[in-house]
């Protein structure tokens, strides 16, 4: 999502039309037109030249972010809930209600490879390509799985007692943050080791960790508030109000000076996370 001196934000949405925005100001850049169903997830490539979207219309689409043109449509047999690019932008992984984790070579999308056929027994909710050879999948069968993208074999897995709400790679690329029930989990992206498990008082649907200040932000499926926690003491520090629906996604900007929250209310809000002037906060 990062250019030399800028970054971008892409939104998933139930109105079928994902949008590209300036990450610092939130200004609208363009809308990707073509899906016939709700878009459950949207991702940008590392250089922001490509976007991929996962939709309820049984497809994932690859987009040119400069022209807005749909480059390819990847047809599935059921709702696609999750999608992501490989770090080198040569492949895309998808998953969803089919319970199949697929890898598509962008130069030959007609012959995807399925990892671990029959392993997932629930809808795949989120996918993280943590390094060139490792993919992480979070599914409704209450398991987080690390896959070797070359062999298609499971490297390790982690079971919880609730269905996963989200799973994301940190901007630094060294941590994986996941939510399930009222708990937040932080894993080392390289070793797959659980670093910390924090239980909150809320049904957590999304989380983002700011490693430098050792604080994390959560959104909830049970209310409309955004909460900031101390990572070390596990204490709630701040509550931010403004959304009118559950907060399904949270992400810090690459420079860590702001974070964005996406809500069921159909809005994305940008929150300043610095004492200095920034973006529109002059």
Cβ contact 62:54 at 8 Å: no
Region of 53 please: left (phi>0), alpha (psi -120 to 50) or beta. Answer: beta
Instruction: Tell which wins on pLDDT, 52 or 254.
Output: 52
What is the strand order of the sheet 80-85 is part of? 80-85, 91-96, 101-105, 108-115
* Burial of residue 242 (number of CB atoms within 10 Å: 0-12, 13-18, 19+): middle
Mean pLDDT in residue range 103-110: 91
pLDDT at 94 over 90: yes
pLDDT at 2 over 80: no
- Of 133-142, 153-162, 240-249, 272-281, the least confident: 272-281
- pLDDT averaged over the chain? 94
Q: Please state, in angstroms and rounded to a whole number, the distance separating the CA atoms of residues 138 and 209.
A: 18
Report angle CA 175, 179, 182 to the nearest 5 degrees: 135
pLDDT at 282 over 60: yes
Q: Please state, in angstroms and rounded to a whole number, the distance separating the CA atoms of residues 20 and 14.
A: 15
Mean pLDDT in residue range 97-104: 98
Q: Please state, in angstroms and rounded to a whole number, the distance separating the CA atoms of residues 92 and 75.
A: 13
Residues in the chain: 282
Q: Quick one: which of 122, 128, 44 has its CA closest to 94? A: 128
pLDDT at 197 over 60: yes
Q: Quick one: which of 168, 163, 118, 166 has its CA closest to 143? A: 163
Which band of pLDDT confidence, cut at 50, 70 and 90, is reported for residue 117?
Answer: very high
Q: Quick one: which of 26, 31, 140 has its CA closest to 82? A: 140
* Burial of residue 75 (number of CB atoms within 10 Å: 0-12, 13-18, 19+): exposed
Mean pLDDT in residue range 221-233: 96
Supply the pLDDT for residue 279. Answer: 81
Instruction: Tell which wins on pLDDT, 186 or 25.
Output: 186
The pTM is what? 0.94
Supply the pLDDT for residue 5. Answer: 63
Q: Quick one: which of 175, 192, 191, 194 has its CA closest to 183? A: 194
Which band of pLDDT confidence, cut at 50, 70 and 90, is reported for residue 3?
Answer: very low
Mean pLDDT in residue range 206-224: 96
In eight-state DSSP terms, residue 7 is B
pLDDT in tens, 159-189: 999 999 999 999 889 999 999 999 999 999 9
pLDDT in tens, 14-23: 999 999 999 8
Region of 181 please: left (phi>0), alpha (psi -120 to 50) or beta. Answer: left
Cβ contact 83:60 at 8 Å: yes
Instruction: Tell which wins on pLDDT, 269 or 109.
Output: 269
pLDDT at 4 over 50: no
Supply the pLDDT for residue 281. Answer: 82
What are the structural domains of the chain? 1-159 (2.130.10.10), 163-282 (2.130.10.10)
Mean pLDDT in residue range 3-24: 88
pLDDT at 213 over 60: yes
């Amino acid at each position: 999502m990062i250019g030399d001196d800028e970054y971008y934000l892409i939104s998933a949405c139930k109105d079928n039309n994902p949008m590209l925005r300036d990450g610092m100001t939130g200004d609208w850049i363009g809308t990707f037109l073509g899906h016939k169903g709700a878009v459950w997830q949207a991702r940008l490539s590392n250089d922001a030249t490509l976007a991929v979207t996962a939709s309820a219309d049984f497809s994932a689409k690859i987009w040119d972010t400069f022209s807005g043109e749909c480059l390819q449509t990847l047809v599935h047999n059921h709702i696609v809930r999750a999608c992501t690019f490989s770090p080198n932008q040569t492949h895309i992984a998808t998953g969803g209600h089919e319970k199949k984790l697929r890898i598509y070579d962008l130069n030959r999308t007609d012959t995807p490879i399925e990892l671990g056929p029959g392993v997932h027994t629930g809808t795949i909710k989120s996918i993280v390509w943590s390094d060139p050879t490792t993919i992480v999948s979070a599914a409704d069968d209450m398991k987080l799985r690390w896959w070797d993208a070359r062999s298609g074999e499971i490297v390790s897995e982690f079971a919880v007692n609730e269905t996963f709400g989200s799973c994301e790679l940190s901007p630094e690329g060294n941590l994986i943050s996941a939510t399930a029930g009222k708990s937040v989990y932080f894993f080392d992206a390289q070793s797959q080791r659980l670093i910390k498990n924090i239980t909150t008082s809320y049904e957590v649907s999304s989380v983002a960790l700011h490693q430098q200040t050792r604080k994390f932000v959560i959104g909830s499926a049970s209310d409309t508030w955004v909460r900031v926690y101390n990572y070390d003491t596990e204490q709630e520090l701040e509550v931010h109000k403004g959304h009118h629906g559950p907060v399904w996604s949270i992400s810090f900007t690459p420079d860590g000076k702001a974070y964005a929250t996406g809500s069921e209310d159909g809005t994305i809000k940008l929150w300043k996370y610095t004492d200095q002037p920034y973006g529109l906060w002059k």
